[in-house]
Structure 1
Amino acid sequence: MVLIEGEAGMGKSRLVREATAILKTEGWRVVTGFCHPLREPLPYGPVVDALGKVGPWLPATGLPPTAGALAPLLPDLADRLPAAPATLGHPGALRHQLIQAVRSVLDAVGRVILVVEDLHWADDATRELLLLLARDLPDQFALVVTYRAEDLPPGAAALGAAYRPPPGAGGTVIRLSPLTENDVADLAGAALGAQATPELCAVLHCRSEGLPLVAEEDLITLRDQACRDVRELERAEVPTGLQEAVTERLTSLSPTGAAVVDAAAVLAVPATEAQLAEIAGLDGDAAAEGLIDALRMAVLRETDTGRYAFRHVLAQQVAYRYIPGPRRARLHRRAIDELQTHDPVPLVQLAHHTLATGDRRGWLDQIEQAVDQAVTLGDTGTAATLLHRILDHPGVDTERRSQAALALARIVHYGVDYAVTVRELGSVLDDPQLPDAVRGEIRLGLGLVMVKVGADPAGFRELAHAVDELATQPHKAALAMVNLALYERDGAAAHAWDWQDRAERTVRDGADEMSRRAAPINRLILMARDGDAAVWPLLDRLPRRDAAGAVLGHATYALYALAEVAVQLGHDRRARALVVEVGALLDHAAHGRIECIPRVVELRLDLLAGRWTRLEDDYAAVAHAHPDVKQIKVDRALCQGHLAFVQGRRSLAHDHFATAAAAARGTSEVDVSIRIAAALAAFRLAEGDPQAAWAIAEPALSMVRGLRSWARTMDLLPVAAEAALACGHHALVERLVAEAESDLCDRDAPAASAELAVVRGLLLRATEPARAVEHFAEAQHRWQDVGRPYEVAKAAERRGEALTCSSPEDAAAHLADAAHGFTELGATGDAARCQHRLRELGVQTARRPGRRGYGSQLSPRELEVAELLVGGATNQDIAQTLFLSSRTVEKHVARVLAKLRTERKDIQSRLPHADRRGSHEPA
């Protein structure tokens, strides 16, 4: 991934041409697309233009069906591509299809470099496509973009704030700066040879101010006119930029050459000879003579498609300003007449020329037609750009302004950059001329994005405000209401069913059938949150593939939300099945904003199920692809913290838990706060600080009690109870158990029931250990049914601990089972704790094979220390995990580093994974 930044005329395109010429000799294939401000609607136009050149490299067979979505856009390649898939009639769905198609074609081509020039002119959709490609680069693919930083939106980055360099991929940002005097001297020497005197080079540098394009223009003039007189060059007016250099060339044109150049300057896009002749008002022979003159003077150039354009956009701008006003207006009118003969009519260009003639009403009509055309073609990026032009134009009447604002809000909602989406919608809302109904619909979109992507409580305030503004649009007001029903903070949970009932009443007698079908879907989420077992049979009634787009979108989101709740309740197998179904439905519903979230739920299920081998890598991939989604940041940090914690790397675990807490600050999601509190409290308990653990757990527990959400305590209840008991709050824990038992008696909440069994055991552990054992055994069996092996091992450990006084042999058996379970999972810290307890009971634990004299090899204990060091454990972590004194740990660490002949930071390279499994030899 290479980004090349530089102002106009700085040599970005030349650098790309020179570099790719070399790469082509090394077997790379290069395709180039160009962005420009008057592009007609075409989804991802610059990328599609570039892909139109890959025909000779496509395989005869084996292209995946997804590539067929490009067939309508690349008619010349239609016979090489699979059949186009069915159109889903939804902007988000079409976007998804096209993005998949682009990736499929790039994968099939092999070693290919995609160059996109002038990214500062790219529409939003093209920029988002490039962002998605850059986040997850296909194999054997390189992406190069050029842009001018000064022409990007204020504060914007080339690919948006959401771009992060992908892990493992090479790349750089190249910022081109002005040429030094020595650079200009080298350039002049290459062009003029020995006649490039120091005096001439100094004048060239002064005139160009280091801008390569200006220096090049002067050198072309000097070479073509055989002018080597420094005094003549000095007498010419010193340019401050390119204008004077281009103007000098314009004044040298013949009358017919000037007419052709004027026509090209007004058109502002590459044009055919016939177009230039028509607009210039020349017959064929005169136009040909003029075009030859413009080419000879290097004012125009021929493109690889047989059209003619200026050599640089700055040259076009200078030439345009050089045309007298009345002649400019006449040329624009001729351009309008010429463009209206095309089929289809290039509406964006037509609107540009219409506005240039002063016809504002005609311009608005054509811009609106161009927007409709772009949306129909799925080119939401061009549509958004055109809508911005309407909103930014002074004097647009309120009705048209409202229509443009609504259209923009609907388009922006499909963006992939959360920060940009919120900023765009917020800026539209700032327009004081918008009517309430329009403002309400836009605010509804803003609130939904804030809630579903950013987990921002402020989004619910926007939704509540939108309800009032949407009084005349009940079906849209109902959408705000059903989302308000899902908010649980600030006392809102008490009104959840009120909002849901109100939403259903609002649409019950309305004419909008989709709203009548969609609103009740939300009821299932509320039922599941309450632990109502009746919800699960109702899932089969949800509309799926035969539903209209909006209804299917609501149903898909509901299934995802139900998967989330199922995990919280302990229905892990059901949750995994729902996640799989959501993934399949997303291809049809195109609910772009939750495309990544089912994967996060799947990874959370992997964590709970003990599938830890690739978990951190999988989380890293999802986090990299979606850096602006708060839920991913939180889940990833919690996963990393849990894995570090169970492996004895407590310092690292605390850092990850703190990262999760920071990422979740201000979140609207109650379950996130509960999970973080449970993790941090468990950490403090392990550190031997129950007071700190209780201080963390108590506010979260109060939240659970206030919400009466005992069905979804998510590991908090046992941790809070253990901390409270250690602080002497026995009566409080008894009250908690009573509350939870009362609330759960008619709830379908397997995880909460298992947690409650643990807490009952903790209450009785000191006074009635036999009964405590029964409760721990119940918890162990319940966790086995749920499918969470780490919790099964923890329950076995508690069961063994409760038996140590009354039945040491049985205690040892359960502790051994726990140690085995932890070891199988890779929870080395927990396994070490159980083995230490077994040794205290006088049970000889199995050790790694070895002998008493280890010489230069690592002993079993040293190997344990080495493995913890590889994981980033501190000496204190090692001492706590292996139950050793600080002095003993220091000795072990010193011996390990000496035997491996390495330093602490390099130990991983000296202790490969294969060696850690069995051999004690240093690498």
Structure 2
Amino acid sequence: AARALRRGGEGPPPLAELARLYAAAGRMREALRCLVTAADRAAATGDYATATRLYTRAVAEDPRAEGRIRTAAKLARTAQLARAGEPVVAAVRRVLDEDDPPPRLRGEIRLHLSVVLRNQSGGALDSLNEVARAVPDLEASDPQTAARAMAVAAIPSIKGWHVDRHREWLERGDALADRVTDPVARAAVAANRATALMLLGDPRAWTAAEALRGPAGSAMEAAHHARGWTNLAHAASALGYGARAREFLGRATDGLADTSSPYLEGLIQTARLVLAWHEGRWQGLHAAADRTARLYREIPDLTSEAMLVRGLTALHVLGDVPRARHDLAEAARTTRYDTGLILTASAAATARVHLEAGRPGRACDAVEEVLHRLERTGGWVWAGEVLPVAVEALHGSGQTARARRLVADFAAGTADSDAPAARAALTVCRALLAEAGGRPEEAVGLLADAEERWRLLGRPFDAARAAEARGRCLLDLRGEAAADGVQEVVEVYGRLDARWDVARCRRLLRRHAIVTTHRRGRLGYGDQLSPREQEVARLVVQGRANRDIAESLVLSTRTVEHHVARIMRKLNASSRTDIARAGWGDGGAETRGR
């Protein structure tokens, strides 16, 4: 059957089917040759998912150690650009542990495995330790690949080594740069070097990125260029360079036009999600993040980044605190090689929920692990997401002295960095310390500066948060005369569709006995539910407890209890279940409330 299939038809023979037939006939040598050749062809055309699947099968089926070693090297190299799950890692590790590859191949396999572990299925320290083990073998046998390994080890993570160790790997790799002549290796080194520099906030990153502009001579070279542009987009967005991030994403998309790499396609999608979040383009963002999280659920770091955005939009746009807390916790649990965004942003959002509910101690608990990682790694360039809320939580828990030390470390750790978002966040931190120290006028000035910095960076939500904090200080200084400023922030949040933040600002005004002019008293609704009661009723029907409803609507639990009591009275309901029976559980709520 195999011979007939090979002779018949036009075009290239169906090698994967030939492999199956040869294997059924017991002719494993021919079967494996067809299988590996099919994988080689798929990799050469940019179909990395097919190539990875076929190489994995060949490693599992080859009875010869020398054959498994050769194929494992190809598998590890190709799996970086596909959806590489645990079967791939297990196949490669078995070869390393049992087949005793020669030093050069052993080093090469470890290098590529470290990238798979970093991007998809392992953890930061697992990946970094794997590449560190690869370097001695490669330095002695293949300096060109050793330079590539050093560029991989240079990429920092909040879950990895201290940033100084990554800088050391950068310097070691630069010393070998002249010995990298292979175009694919040169593209891989250039992508990793630029990525590492950008993640560290090193001003040399912009020049390093220019090395990716040259034309690609192969699909693999083009894929490395696209990977570099996408990584640079992620890093530039976090640093505060949104426009440059969009430019990098455009180049990455162009570079993938003729290839098929699920991992890189997903990396581009998650970069777009995060960029949309930072830039306040929130319409449909929750649904987009949900689709991406489901589509790439096999790749942990893609899933976790999509879940982060899904959690942030669940909190700020939907006002759904339980769902947000679940997604934020899952994002933090799922991430593997976090380069400074997921753990910090998820901890910060969770802490804000606790602060708004009057639980500063629990807010401190939410940020503690991340603060420890920042201190351990020295990755202060990543602290901008979490440190402002950490300052508020620590001050609220009587730990203002520690907050001051952290802000001083933040300032020292970013002094030489090209990181405008970190500088804006540092200004907010200094303002919060001034407010905590009883210097509200100083805080107001610093917060106005921070608001302008965020505005110039194209980050409207961060600018609004700074304006809200400034309004809070002015209310303490001037009382009702400062209410218009807070109301302007409410309008900004409204344009962003930041429902939870609108509710928080209105609660701030209520604490100062200020009622906005557009709100009508509840007595004007008679037996009909007021807009606030309608919101509470919908959440009751969803099965939410009063405490959850309070967190979602930024109310006190006692206020929610009063709302529920009035709802039950107006609907003649004897239980929470009766509220659904009154038409609030099937879309009839809008009609019922009119």
The letter of the residue matching 1:524 is: A
The answer for the alignment partner of 1:656 in structure 2 is: 327
Distance 1:878 1:610, change over 3 A: same
TM superposition score normalised by structure 1: 0.56
Kindly state the Cα deviation for residue 541 of structure 1 after the two structures are TM-superposed: 4.4
Measured in 1, the distance between the counterparts of 2:385 and 2:16 equals 58
The answer for the alignment partner of 2:529 in structure 1 is: 858
Kindly state the Cα deviation for residue 482 of structure 1 after the two structures are TM-superposed: 1.0
The answer for the alignment partner of 2:294 in structure 1 is: 624
Kindly state the Cα deviation for residue 463 of structure 1 after the two structures are TM-superposed: 1.9
TM superposition score normalised by structure 2: 0.84
Mapped pair 1:425 → 2:92? yes
Measured in 2, the distance between the counterparts of 1:905 and 1:561 equals 52
The answer for the alignment partner of 1:326 in structure 2 is: none
Mapped pair 1:717 → 2:387? yes
Distance 1:905 1:640, change over 3 A: farther
Mapped pair 1:813 → 2:480? no
Q: 1:456 aligns with which of 107, 123, 138?
A: 123
The letter of the residue matching 1:799 is: R
Would you tell me which structure has more helix in proportion to its own residues?
Answer: 2
The answer on whether the counterparts of 1:391 and 1:405 sit within 8 Å (CA) in structure 2 is: no
Mapped pair 1:882 → 2:549? no
The answer on whether the counterparts of 1:757 and 1:776 sit within 8 Å (CA) in structure 2 is: yes
The answer on whether the counterparts of 1:869 and 1:904 sit within 8 Å (CA) in structure 2 is: no
The letter of the residue matching 2:154 is: A
Measured in 1, the distance between the counterparts of 2:280 and 2:457 equals 12
After superposition, the CA RMSD in angstroms is 3.8
Measured in 2, the distance between the counterparts of 1:405 and 1:364 equals 17
Q: 1:368 aligns with which of 21, 24, 33?
A: 33
Distance 1:661 1:894, change over 3 A: farther
Q: 2:586 aligns with which of 909, 912, 916?
A: 909
The answer for the alignment partner of 1:499 in structure 2 is: 169
Unmatched tracts of structure 1, length 5 or more? 1-266, 270-334
The answer for the alignment partner of 1:845 in structure 2 is: 516
The answer for the alignment partner of 1:728 in structure 2 is: 398
Distance 1:461 1:828, change over 3 A: same
User: Which whole-Å deviations, capped at 9, do the CAs of 1:308-360 have from their partners, x for residues lacking one?
Assistant: xxxxxxxxxxxxxxxxxxxxxxxxxxx79x977998788889889999999x7
The answer on whether the counterparts of 1:649 and 1:871 sit within 8 Å (CA) in structure 2 is: no
Kindly state the Cα deviation for residue 853 of structure 1 after the two structures are TM-superposed: 4.9
The answer for the alignment partner of 2:151 in structure 1 is: 482
Provide the secondary structure at the position in 2 that maps to 1:595: helix
Distance 1:662 1:375, change over 3 A: closer
The answer on whether the counterparts of 1:569 and 1:749 sit within 8 Å (CA) in structure 2 is: yes
Larger radius of gyration: 1
Measured in 2, the distance between the counterparts of 1:803 and 1:369 equals 74
Kindly state the Cα deviation for residue 680 of structure 1 after the two structures are TM-superposed: 2.6
Measured in 2, the distance between the counterparts of 1:787 and 1:871 equals 36
The answer for the alignment partner of 1:761 in structure 2 is: 431
User: Which whole-Å deviations, capped at 9, do the CAs of 1:494-513 have from their partners, x for residues lacking one?
Assistant: 22122122223335235535
Kindly state the Cα deviation for residue 803 of structure 1 after the two structures are TM-superposed: 1.5
Measured in 1, the distance between the counterparts of 2:76 and 2:582 equals 51
Kindly state the Cα deviation for residue 721 of structure 1 after the two structures are TM-superposed: 0.7
User: Which whole-Å deviations, capped at 9, do the CAs of 1:525-564 have from their partners, x for residues lacking one?
Assistant: 2332332345335534423444544443333222212211
Provide the secondary structure at the position in 2 that maps to 1:807: helix
Measured in 2, the distance between the counterparts of 1:386 and 1:764 equals 60
Measured in 2, the distance between the counterparts of 1:370 and 1:518 equals 27
Kindly state the Cα deviation for residue 694 of structure 1 after the two structures are TM-superposed: 2.0
The answer on whether the counterparts of 1:528 and 1:562 sit within 8 Å (CA) in structure 2 is: yes
Distance 1:810 1:571, change over 3 A: farther
The answer on whether the counterparts of 1:848 and 1:860 sit within 8 Å (CA) in structure 2 is: no
Write the mapping of 1:208-223 to structure 2, written as runs, cut at 5 A: none
Measured in 1, the distance between the counterparts of 2:387 and 2:566 equals 38
Provide the secondary structure at the position in 1 that maps to 2:101: coil
Q: 2:270 aligns with which of 594, 600, 611?
A: 600
Distance 1:679 1:859, change over 3 A: closer
Provide the secondary structure at the position in 2 that maps to 1:838: helix
User: Which whole-Å deviations, capped at 9, do the CAs of 1:364-388 have from their partners, x for residues lacking one?
Assistant: 3685367436634769859965985
Report the identity percentage: 30
The answer for the alignment partner of 1:47 in structure 2 is: none
User: Which whole-Å deviations, capped at 9, do the CAs of 1:423-446 have from their partners, x for residues lacking one?
Assistant: 332344344253333333333332
Measured in 2, the distance between the counterparts of 1:749 and 1:604 equals 17
Kindly state the Cα deviation for residue 864 of structure 1 after the two structures are TM-superposed: 3.6
Distance 1:825 1:867, change over 3 A: farther
Distance 1:841 1:416, change over 3 A: closer
Greater alpha carbon shift after TM alignment, 809-818 vs 365-374: 365-374
User: Which whole-Å deviations, capped at 9, do the CAs of 1:594-638 have from their partners, x for residues lacking one?
Assistant: 220111121122222333231221112112221112123323333
User: Which whole-Å deviations, capped at 9, do the CAs of 1:829-887 have from their partners, x for residues lacking one?
Assistant: 33223223334444431346799453553223323424555777532233452345353
The letter of the residue matching 1:789 is: P
Kindly state the Cα deviation for residue 816 of structure 1 after the two structures are TM-superposed: 0.8
Mapped pair 1:672 → 2:342? yes
Distance 1:520 1:774, change over 3 A: same
The answer for the alignment partner of 1:466 in structure 2 is: 134
Distance 1:830 1:717, change over 3 A: same
Measured in 2, the distance between the counterparts of 1:739 and 1:383 equals 45
Measured in 1, the distance between the counterparts of 2:516 and 2:33 equals 78
Mapped pair 1:636 → 2:306? yes
The answer on whether the counterparts of 1:879 and 1:889 sit within 8 Å (CA) in structure 2 is: no
Measured in 2, the distance between the counterparts of 1:878 and 1:564 equals 35
Distance 1:356 1:675, change over 3 A: closer
The answer for the alignment partner of 1:587 in structure 2 is: 257
Unmatched tracts of structure 2, length 5 or more? none
Measured in 2, the distance between the counterparts of 1:383 and 1:640 equals 30
The letter of the residue matching 1:800 is: G
Mapped pair 1:509 → 2:208? no
The letter of the residue matching 1:890 is: V
Measured in 2, the distance between the counterparts of 1:426 and 1:793 equals 50
